[in-house]
Amino acid sequence: MTQSWYKKIMPKVADIKKKLPALAKNIIGIDGVSSVLVLGSYVDNKDKPDYILRDVDILAVVDIPSEDLLSIITGENDNNVFKMSKTDLENDGYNPIAVSFTKKFTSICSDNIDHWALCSDNNILHYGPIHDDLIEWQENKDKAEKHANMKTGINRKKLAKARQALKDDWYQRFKERFNLSLTSCPCGWYKSSLLKSDIIEKTIKLA
């Protein structure tokens, strides 16, 4: 079977394994970072060099309280905290180290990296677009599912019994359409439902 275009360009475990040392070195050098870990599908499939990774989940363990990261929202009303001076940040109630960390960490965006932070208060945060409310998020999710259903000819509810290639195609089409709805959304940190105890044993320490 001919590979779809995205499978040809998506990184494999072997590709990411070569890049992780340099990636970790860049991140550990950011002020506020005490260690760097990888989790998710890379860890689950680390012994499968040809396994295709849609996302690479990188977790930075930081000496920063979660509330200082949660306050950072960019792209909202042209208010870009990344362009503010240290004095202006402090005057507006921001933690300059938290802002600097966010700017540098999230600027590393090659190979579909997903940015995670384990904060000093043990809360786990994820960085990405923020919807205005749950209703908007659900509407965009439903539209993306319908698009994927139509393009692949299979309903999401029947994916469990589908071939892996079809599952991958459905997921990619869903993700592409859903991401289109995020282009106008502000970005920031939001609290994950994951607990430190849920993931800490399912990670690989990089630095």
The tens digit of pLDDT for each residue in 150-182 reads: 888 888 777 777 787 887 788 778 777 777 766
What's the average model confidence in pLDDT over 4-19? 75
Q: What is the pTM of this model?
A: 0.75
Question: Residue 85's CB: how many other CB atoms inside 10 A?
Answer: 9
Residues 147, 137, single domain; the answer is yes
| 57: enclosing H helix or E strand | strand 56-62
Mean pLDDT computed over every residue of the chain: 84
Distance separating alpha carbons of residues 104 and 69, to the nearest angstrom: 13
Question: What's the CA gap between 49 and 168, in Å, rounded?
Answer: 18
Q: What percent of the chain has pLDDT over 70?
A: 87
Considering the domain architecture, whether residues 71 and 172 belong to the same structural domain is answered as: no
The Cα–Cα gap between 153 and 143 comes to 15
Q: How many domains would you assign to the chain?
A: 2
* Domain of 64, in residue numbers: 5-130+186-205
**Is residue 30 within 8 Å of 104, Cβ to Cβ?**
yes
Residues 114 and 167 in one domain: no
What tokens does 179 get?
């991401």
| Shared-domain flag, residues 102 and 120 | yes
Residues 126 and 149 in one domain: no
110 shares a domain with 57? yes
Among 72-76, 98-102, 148-152, the minimum mean pLDDT is found in 72-76
194 and 165 belong to one structural domain: no
Pair (163, 93) in one structural domain: no
